[in-house]
Amino acid sequence: MNRVRAFIALGSNLGDRDAHLAWARRRLAELPETTVLAVSRVEETAPLGGLDQPPYRNQMLALETALTPDALLAACQEIERERGRVRRERWASRVLDLDLVRFGDRVERRAGLILPHPGIADRGFWQRELAELEGALAGRPILEK
């Protein structure tokens, strides 16, 4: 079965943010036919979307999976729901947010799935996290702050 390298962005700005990220990392590692390859450092970022809300804790992980992009996205959304995420308002605060950022070299634009994620260009923290993970996967150590 073909395995693809995918990148998932994790974010939380409600409750014990670090615990939510740790829980999501564990759940992603439990997905069938999926292996976590590397995890970026956690960084605190300002919320997007202009709403008044607490800062986020963000992190990205690289994984290798035999899941399809749709199955991986569905698993991410299920993990969000398990942790209490309710989608009501765009850009609203959330216990957990998981975004499928890249899925191999896949380029896709359709309802419900755009690859690579269009937010990469606007989110400097995603760019830093991707660079950190790509470096780690190429054999360069992830440096602690």
In terms of residues, how long is the chain?
A: 145
pLDDT of residue 94: 86
For residue 100, being part of any structural domain is answered with yes
Domain range for 108 is: 4-137
pLDDT of residue 145: 41
Q: Which residues are catalytic?
A: 85, 94, 97, 99
The pTM of the full predicted model, rounded to 2 decimals, is: 0.91
**100-125: pLDDT as tens digits:** 999 999 999 999 899 999 999 999 99
138: Cα within 13 Å, side-chain hemisphere: 7
Q: How many domains does the chain have?
A: 1
CATH of the domain at 58: 3.30.70.560
| Residues contacting 140, CB < 8 A, separation 6+ | none
- Please give the Cα distance from 109 to 144 (Å, whole number): 36
Tell me, rounded to whole angstroms, the distance of Cα 116 from its chain centroid. 12
